[in-house]
Amino acid sequence: MADLSNDFLGIRSPNPYWLASAPPTDKEYNVVRAFRAGWGGVVWKTLGEDPPVVNVSSRYGAVSYNGTRVAGLNNIELITDRPLELNLREIKQVKRDWPDRAMIVSLMVPCEEQSWKSILPLVEDTGADGIELNFGCPHGMSERGMGSAVGQVPEYVEMVARWCKQYTRMPVIVKLTPNITNILGPARAARRGGADAVSLINTIQSIVSIDLDLMAPTPTVDGLGTHGGYCGPAVKPIALRMVGQIARDPECQGMAISAIGGISTWRDAAEFMALGATNVQVCTAAMTHGFKIVEDMSSGLANWMDEKGYAGTRAFQGLAVPNFVEWQDLNINFKSVAAIDQDACIQCGKCYIACEDTSHQSIFALRTPEGGRRYEINEAECVGCNLCMHVCPVDNCITMQSVDTGLPYLNWQHHPNNPMRKDAAE
């Protein structure tokens, strides 16, 4: 059977599934339950200086779509509201009791050298395996000059990372904010500052809905609302893109990546690792389904690896990175057309409506001799946009078939319509 054991910066864990810094990792009770359920590691909920922060009641908002509950989760919770000494004592005890599990401690203190210099020895004394610098929180703490207020300024990211590498022996992971134009700026800054790894993405600034009776953003606190941090399955595409950008960037080459963002299944985890991540962190899936979801995630990944012949996760880590390119590198001469499996088709007409109203009018709506309906592809007009495949309610009823055009590979950089093409006459 496939070996799921994970080595992240020399930090060993029995599988690549860690719980992200969040309410599920706020205290010893939760973390022990998680380890008993089979999680490979945790990132303890973000610690700060005493006195602890004050959290509000009514903390979560959610987006449910088309019958799916919690497709996205919004929170306005801050870092731990428990005393620093209590957290440190519990971290130390859990690490002693579970030495084979990864224990990372998330930290957020003011952007001052002395603050970081003071807290790092306290964390190191717990026996923790590493620290994660929370440069991503987009609400509450950012207004105090911490969280994403630091993560959005590469110079600050580099500066604090350098302080931490100077004052601790522990591996330093920088947690990046997605609330920025270019994720490579802070990622490269973390590398320059000596950080051993990055984790991403943290939550996205959001308002998930408006209560039309109270006329306030949700979740509401005594009739008022604010923006929060958005996570869950809905953010996965954004996280995949940012992880891939860092994995293929020459300046970040070799820096370990812990992926976060909407990971709910073994397939999600495999996709992130194929795009360069060494392991993954999970939050929303655990909060909506409980800690035992890790059993399905582990068995599913192991079964898939066995089918593919991957002995360990390193065998497929990063395999998708060379195939993640810029648009200008795509083959313009490639062509695909849709094909409908008539035996599987339920004649709902969704493909026809989508194509006729909003795409390229390349599906025929026909009547059968018996008075029924039949839909066929007009291959001469089909541009291979994939829309019909995506709107079809029957899996694999519509598939995209490659067509041999007989033309060589040609991308936009060399296309004759490009006035700035590389082989244009000077």
In tens, the pLDDT along 17-58 reads: 999 999 999 999 999 999 999 999 999 999 999 988 888 899
Q: pTM score, two decimals?
A: 0.94
Which of 137, 231, 345, 397 is catalytic? The answer is 137
3-state secondary structure of 375: strand
137 is catalytic: yes
269 to 276, 296, 332: CA distances (angstroms): 11, 12, 31
Q: How confident is the model at residue 334 (pLDDT cuts 50, 70, 90)?
A: very high
Task: Please determine, for residue 178, whether its predicted confidence score (pLDDT) is greater than 50.
Answer: yes
Q: What confidence score (pLDDT) does residue 425 get?
A: 52
Task: Please determine, for residue 140, whether its predicted confidence score (pLDDT) is greater than 80.
Answer: no
| Cβ-contact 18, 280 below 8 angstroms | yes
Task: Please determine, for residue 426, whether its predicted confidence score (pLDDT) is greater than 70.
Answer: no
First to last CA, the chain: 59
Helix (H) or strand (E) holding 190: helix 184-192
Please, which residues bridge with residue 375 across strands?
365
Mean pLDDT of the chain: 95
Mark 399-419 as b/e (b = at least 16 C-beta within 10 Å).
eeeeeeeeeeeebbeeeeeee
Q: What percent of the chain is predicted at pLDDT more than 90?
A: 87
- Region of poorest pLDDT, from 63-67, 256-260, 320-324, 360-364: 63-67
| Cβ-contact 107, 150 below 8 angstroms | no
Q: What confidence score (pLDDT) does residue 377 get?
A: 97
Q: Please compute the mean of the pLDDT values over residues 128-154 and round it to a whole number.
A: 83
Task: Please determine, for residue 81, whether its predicted confidence score (pLDDT) is greater than 50.
Answer: yes
Between β-strands 41-47 and 102-107, what pairing exists: parallel, antiparallel or unpaired?
Answer: parallel
In the chain, count H helices and then E strands.
Answer: 12, 20
Q: Compute the CA torsion angle 391, 396, 398, 402 (nearest 10 deg).
A: 120
Q: What confidence score (pLDDT) does residue 395 get?
A: 96
Q: What confidence score (pLDDT) does residue 189 get?
A: 97
Q: How confident is the model at residue 309 (pLDDT cuts 50, 70, 90)?
A: very high
Task: Please determine, for residue 362, whether its predicted confidence score (pLDDT) is greater than 90.
Answer: yes
Q: Please compute the mean of the pLDDT values over residues 382-403 and round it to a whole number.
A: 97
Amino acid found at 254: G
Q: What confidence score (pLDDT) does residue 54 get?
A: 82
Which among 249, 413, 414, 419 has a CA at the least distance from the CA of 328? 413
As given in the structure block, the two tokens for residue 361 are 């009018």
Give the rounded distance of the alpha carbon of 5 from its chain centre: 21
Comparing 137 with 123, the larger pLDDT belongs to 123
Q: What confidence score (pLDDT) does residue 145 get?
A: 72
